[in-house]
Amino acid sequence: MKTSGADPIRRLVLDTSAYSRFRAGNPVVLDLLARAEAVLVPVTVLGELEAGFELGRRVRENRTTLASFLEEPFVAVLATTPDVARRYGQAFARLREAGTPIPTNDIWIAAAAIDSGGRLLTFDTHFIQVPGLDPLVLDE
């Protein structure tokens, strides 16, 4: 992607809220995507998106749009690998020990972001609690 004059972001990981804001045309998200060298989407985010598609009225349109986005040369899907599972287990345990649990899917998303070395883009502040994750949390 082209850069907008600001420093590029090497690996930007999207959570579900960030993808949704991208689709809605959020200018801050669009700028960050334009500055990213690579955009990464955890497979857990794909599952959450599919659930939303199934509950909505535009299943085919949403799937087609997502498929086109995923086909872009700068976009890749982050698989759930044994290394991601290990990072999930570590994050889950640390969050529970600290008494600060977050939704299970978000722990998987955080684990994928940590494992990829990417920076998670999100609108969900609870990601700040995940040890080893440096999320880029945007305001509504």
Cβ neighbors of 113 (< 8 A, separation 6 or more) are 13, 40, 42, 78, 119, 120, 133, 135
Which pTM does this prediction carry?
A: 0.92
Confidence of residue 3 (pLDDT cuts 50, 70, 90): very low
Packing angle between helix 104-116 and helix 43-55, nearest 10 degrees? 140
Cβ neighbors of 29 (< 8 A, separation 6 or more) are 18, 21, 22, 121, 138
pLDDT digits 0-9 by tens, 70-97: 999 999 999 999 999 999 999 999 999 9
**Residue type for 34, please?**
A
For the chain, domains (ranges, CATH) are 9-137 (3.40.50.1010)
Q: What's the mean per-residue pLDDT of the chain? A: 94
pLDDT tens digit sequence for 41-81: 999 999 999 999 999 999 999 999 999 999 999 999 999 99
| Residue type at position 128 | I
